[in-house]
Chain A
Amino acid sequence: MIRLLTVLLLSAISLGACANPSSTQTVATPIPYQLIIQFRTPVDDPPKTDFAQQLSKDAGATLLFVRSLATGAQIYSVDGTLDRAAFDAVLSRLKLRHDVLYVEEDRRVQPAKKK
């Protein structure tokens, strides 16, 4: 009986170790939307507080500076609770700023491996 219980216990451990990752319990960390802004003239890296505050105000959402790209364009993250439509609206509002050459989503791409 003890041997049987041991075998069952070991089997359970083994199954757990080989389980599909879908069963793994991890705390989810939402990836916030990110956007890339190329300004017409160089902007401080990181931007000054008042500049960043005005940018957020114009965007209608809190933008957090992430880093600059090699081109000088800047990446900002947006509040992760925004839905897609709200994020698109942020992009549209930023395009209205005269100092923005372009603004676009820092889109995610996937490996082109067939699922």
Chain B
Amino acid sequence: MLGTAQANSDSRVERLIVKLRNSAGDQTLSTDHRQVLEARCGTRLTTLRTLANGAHLLKLPQPMPELEAQALVAAISTDPSVEYAEPDSRRYITATPDTTEPRYPEQWYLFATPGGMSLPAVWNADVGNSSTPGGVIVAVIDSGYRPHVEFAARILPGYDFISDTFTANDGNGRDSSALDPGDWVTSTEATAHSDCSVQDSSWHGTFITGMIAASADSTGIAGINAQARILPVRVLGKCGGFISDIADSMRWAAGLPVSGVPNNPNKAKIINLSVDGKGACSNTEQAAINAVTAAGVTVIVAAGNDIHDNVANYSPANCSGVIAVAATTINGTLTRYSNIGNKIAISAPGGDGLDEILSTSNTGLTAPGSDNYVYYSGTSFATAAVSGVASLILSVRPELTPADVRTVLRTSADPITDNACNGNVCGAGIVNAEAAVNAALVYVAPPPPAASSGGGGGGGSDLLSLLALLSAGSVRNRSARLKK
């Protein structure tokens, strides 16, 4: 659906990306150097900002045809100081009719009013052209995966970070297979371990993966982003998982080194962490979150399912810098089970009662069986919903930072009309994919603060960016909005 190279014949280029040799970090482009580039291409250029890799984003005096922009790029590239130059192309969302999936009508969370996320409008939208092959990489840090036909082709090489053999249930500790052998718990095992109860295998990671990335193939269900690539990272097994394994796995997913584990060449842009545990945010969790967000990875986590308890009591949702997600119903109200509180960034469909979430699973009660589809509910799945929408945002604006993604999600959310959410305890509202992609297209990042206030991703940044959005024009009235 997203990311294939497909240019509109009438597409216009508004900005160029120029990377200078030996440039890195956040060095700004000097006026002298900008004038050198202007002399090369014979056009006035305005410096917008420096990208994470040190490249400079330059605005053209007016939008111009792709061919004309390519000529400017070629002229700029002749300067010996230039490593590369290219048009800052818009991304293109092709019209993949995921609504033809046979079980799509059961996926209310994608389309229902008011409780759904307005996905069909995104699937059928044209937002410009793309030069980025492959889909956005989402790390699903969870129980591993079964190679379900809905997404097996887009699974990247993952890793099993479970170091404890009982929890791992695959006969060893850490290894290179993120396949899920099952997480069933017998009565004997449940008795032997606190905070652990008898259960059949959940195939939790497989369910999350299907929600985010099920294929557009006219079979089964529709995924939120059928082009997303999944980095499966296994941390949950029998009786859950340790925060130490999760912390290491987050770093690995973000492309950071972890001793004793081969480096991950497929750095994720998003980490989906549909877990919770009672307690304060540990130093170990916070350090990992700080490291991966600094590496440009957006961390999206579950609020937990403790019946409107304060999310401040549950980690990792209470850690700084994460996007904590509460769960809503088909009617757009808060679910009976979701945790709430001021640390919630946003809400999303998580299912409740008879209206649960449908996604991919496996028939095995213990060891794996065959592909199937089941219904679950929980903040786990509200989290996956937000991760899927975040991957759509990053498919059209891959340069956005975790703080930007948070701002785009929050400023485009639908309001929740539920007294249970009074006091700003359900975040900015219910995630809306169409509005989020529209907002991403016109988003202007706020200038970096003069001095670091710590924490990252706070509400102050949201306000600044909302003002930037407003100054750029109404999201819903911009010509750059999704073209249906």
Q: Are A71 and B287 in contact (CB under 8 A)?
A: yes
Interface assignment of A6: CB less than 8 Å from any CB of chain B: no
Interface assignment of A15: CB less than 8 Å from any CB of chain B: no
Query: Which of B197, B240, B288 counts the most A-chain CB atoms under 10 A from its CB?
Result: B240
Give the distance in Å from the alpha carbon of A73 to the alpha carbon of B241 in the complex: 18
Q: Are A111 and B380 in contact (CB under 8 A)?
A: yes
Q: Are B188 and A111 in contact (CB under 8 A)?
A: no
Which chain A residues in 1-44 approach chain B with CB under 8 Å? 18, 20-31, 34, 36, 38
**Interface locus among A48-56, A57-65, A99-107:** A99-107
**Interface locus among B199-207, B440-448, B453-461:** B199-207
Picked from B190, B244, B256, B275, the residue with its CB within 8 Å of the CB of A111 is B275
The answer to whether residues A21 and B365 also contact, given A108-B242, A113-B204 and a CB cut-off of 8 A, is yes
Picked from B194, B236, B244, B256, the residue with its CB within 8 Å of the CB of A106 is B244
Query: Which of A23, A71, A73, A108 counts the most B-chain CB atoms under 10 A from its CB?
Result: A108
Picked from A20, A31, A73, A104, the residue with its CB within 8 Å of the CB of B200 is A20
Number of A-B contacts (CB under 8 A): 154
Which A-chain residue is minimally distant from B235 (CB atoms)? A109
Interface assignment of A114: CB less than 8 Å from any CB of chain B: yes
Give the distance in Å from the alpha carbon of A25 to the alpha carbon of B195 in the complex: 20
Interface assignment of B27: CB less than 8 Å from any CB of chain A: no
Which A-chain residue is minimally distant from B278 (CB atoms)? A107
Q: Are B243 and A111 in contact (CB under 8 A)?
A: no
Which A-chain residue is minimally distant from B186 (CB atoms)? A24
Picked from A69, A109, A112, the residue with its CB within 8 Å of the CB of B383 is A112
Picked from B163, B275, B379, the residue with its CB within 8 Å of the CB of A67 is B163
Interface assignment of B302: CB less than 8 Å from any CB of chain A: yes
Q: Are B187 and A31 in contact (CB under 8 A)?
A: no
Q: Are B258 and A73 in contact (CB under 8 A)?
A: no
Q: Are B380 and A28 in contact (CB under 8 A)?
A: no
Q: Are A106 and B242 in contact (CB under 8 A)?
A: yes
The answer to whether residues A73 and B284 also contact, given A31-B239, A109-B241, A112-B304 and a CB cut-off of 8 A, is yes
Give the distance in Å from the alpha carbon of A112 to the alpha carbon of B379 in the complex: 6
Which chain B residues in 182-216 approach chain A with CB under 8 Å? 184-195, 197-200, 202, 204, 207
The answer to whether residues A28 and B276 also contact, given A108-B239, A109-B243, A111-B240 and a CB cut-off of 8 A, is no
Interface assignment of B246: CB less than 8 Å from any CB of chain A: yes
Give the distance in Å from the alpha carbon of A34 to the alpha carbon of B163 in the complex: 12
A34 contacts across to B, CB distance below 8 A:
242, 244
Q: Please give the number of chain B residues whose Cβ is less than 8 angstroms from any Cβ of chain A in the complex.
A: 67
Q: Mark B155-171, 1 if CB is under 8 A from A, else 0.
A: 00000000110110000
Q: Are B279 and A107 in contact (CB under 8 A)?
A: yes
B200 contacts across to A, CB distance below 8 A:
20-21
B302 to A: closest C-beta gap in Å: 4
Which chain A residues in 67-114 approach chain B with CB under 8 Å? 67-71, 73, 75, 84, 102, 104-114
Q: Mark B1-38, 1 if CB is under 8 A from A, else 0.
A: 00000000000000000000000000000000000000
The answer to whether residues A20 and B198 also contact, given A38-B283, A112-B378 and a CB cut-off of 8 A, is yes
Q: Are B276 and A69 in contact (CB under 8 A)?
A: no
Interface SS majority for chain B: mixed
A105 contacts across to B, CB distance below 8 A:
279, 282
Give the distance in Å from the alpha carbon of A36 to the alpha carbon of B242 in the complex: 11
Picked from B142, B188, B257, B377, the residue with its CB within 8 Å of the CB of A70 is B257
Which B-chain residue is minimally distant from A73 (CB atoms)? B284
Q: Are A36 and B284 in contact (CB under 8 A)?
A: yes
Q: Are B380 and A30 in contact (CB under 8 A)?
A: no
Q: Are B283 and A108 in contact (CB under 8 A)?
A: no
Interface assignment of B248: CB less than 8 Å from any CB of chain A: yes
Q: Are A107 and B277 in contact (CB under 8 A)?
A: yes
Give the distance in Å from the alpha carbon of A23 to the alpha carbon of B378 in the complex: 27
Q: Are B188 and A28 in contact (CB under 8 A)?
A: yes
Q: Are A68 and B259 in contact (CB under 8 A)?
A: yes
Q: Are B244 and A109 in contact (CB under 8 A)?
A: no
Q: Are B166 and A29 in contact (CB under 8 A)?
A: yes
Interface assignment of B50: CB less than 8 Å from any CB of chain A: no
A30 contacts across to B, CB distance below 8 A:
192-193
Give the distance in Å from the alpha carbon of A106 to the alpha carbon of B163 in the complex: 12
B240 contacts across to A, CB distance below 8 A:
108-111
A109 contacts across to B, CB distance below 8 A:
236, 240-243, 246, 275-277, 315-316
Give the distance in Å from the alpha carbon of A27 to the alpha carbon of B191 in the complex: 11
B345 to A: closest C-beta gap in Å: 15
Give the distance in Å from the alpha carbon of A70 to the alpha carbon of B185 in the complex: 30
B279 contacts across to A, CB distance below 8 A:
105, 107
Interface assignment of B305: CB less than 8 Å from any CB of chain A: yes
A63 to B: closest C-beta gap in Å: 15
Interface assignment of B251: CB less than 8 Å from any CB of chain A: yes
Which chain B residues in 250-278 approach chain A with CB under 8 Å? 251, 256-260, 274-277
B383 contacts across to A, CB distance below 8 A:
112
Picked from B166, B207, B365, B376, the residue with its CB within 8 Å of the CB of A18 is B365
A31 contacts across to B, CB distance below 8 A:
164, 166-167, 193, 239
B100 contacts across to A, CB distance below 8 A:
none
Query: Which of A25, A75, A113 counts the most B-chain CB atoms under 10 A from its CB?
Result: A113
Given contacts A26-B188, A31-B239, A109-B236, 6 further A-B contacts (CB under 8 A): A22-B190, A28-B192, A106-B243, A111-B142, A111-B240, A114-B337
Can you report 12 residue pairs joining A to B where beta carbons are below 8 Å apart? A21-B187, A21-B365, A22-B190, A25-B186, A31-B166, A31-B239, A108-B241, A108-B277, A109-B277, A110-B195, A112-B275, A114-B377
Nearest 3 CB-CB pairs, A to B? A28-B192, A109-B277, A112-B302
